[in-house]
A and B are shown apart, each in its own frame.
Chain A
Amino acid sequence: MSAAEHAAGPANSTEYITHHLTHYTVGEGFWSFHVDTIFMSVLLGVVTLGLFYSAGRKATVGVPGKWQAFVEIVVEFIDTTVKEVFHLDRSFLAPLALTIFVWVFLMNAMDLLPLDLPGKVAGLFGIHYWRVVPTADANTTFAMSLTVLCVVIYYSIKAKGVGGYAHELFTAPFGGNPILWIPNFLLNLVELLSKPVSLAMRLFGNMYAGELVFMLIALLGAGLFTLTVGSAFGFFGQLFMGAVWAIFHILIITLQAFIFMMLTVVYSAMATEHH
Chain B
Amino acid sequence: MENLALIAQVQSYTAIALGLIIGLGAIGACIGIGIMGSKFLEAAARQPELIPTLQTRMFLLAGLIDAAFLIGVALAMFFAFANPLLARFG
Contact = CB atoms under 8 A, between A and B. Distances in A.
Given A258-B60, A259-B64, A201 B71 contact: yes
Interface residues of B, number: 17
Interface stretch (A62-70, A106-114, A203-211): A203-211
Interface string A1-42: 000000000000010011001000000000000000000000
Interface of A: 14, 17-18, 21, 198, 201-202, 204-206, 208-209, 212, 255-256, 258-259, 262
Given A14-B81, A17-B81, A198-B67, A208 B60 contact: no
Contacts, number: 49
B39 to A, nearest CB: 19
A21 B62 contact: no
Contacts of B81: 14, 17-18, 21, 212
B25 to A, nearest CB: 10
A212 B81 CA distance: 10
A204 B71 CA distance: 8
A258 B70 contact: no
A209 B60 contact: no
A262 B64 CA distance: 11
Interface of B: 59-60, 62-64, 66-67, 70-75, 77-78, 81-82
A212 B77 contact: yes
A252 to B, nearest CB: 9
B49 to A, nearest CB: 17
Given A256-B63, A258-B59, A259-B60, A21 B71 contact: no
A209 B74 contact: yes
Q: What does DSSP make chain A's interface, helix, strand, loop or mixed?
A: helix
A209 B73 contact: yes
A209 B67 contact: no
Nearest to B57: A262
Given A14-B81, A18-B82, A206 B70 contact: yes
Contacts of B74: 201, 204-206, 208-209, 212
Nearest to B82: A18
Given A17-B81, A21-B82, A202-B67, A262 B73 contact: no
Contacts of B77: 208-209, 212
23 contacts: A14-B81, A18-B81, A18-B82, A198-B67, A201-B74, A202-B63, A202-B67, A202-B70, A204-B74, A205-B67, A205-B70, A205-B74, A206-B67, A208-B74, A209-B70, A209-B73, A209-B74, A209-B77, A212-B77, A212-B81, A258-B63, A259-B64, A262-B60
Contacts of A17: 81
A136 to B, nearest CB: 9
Q: Which 4 A/B pairs are nearest by Cβ-Cβ distance? A: A205-B74, A205-B71, A202-B67, A259-B63
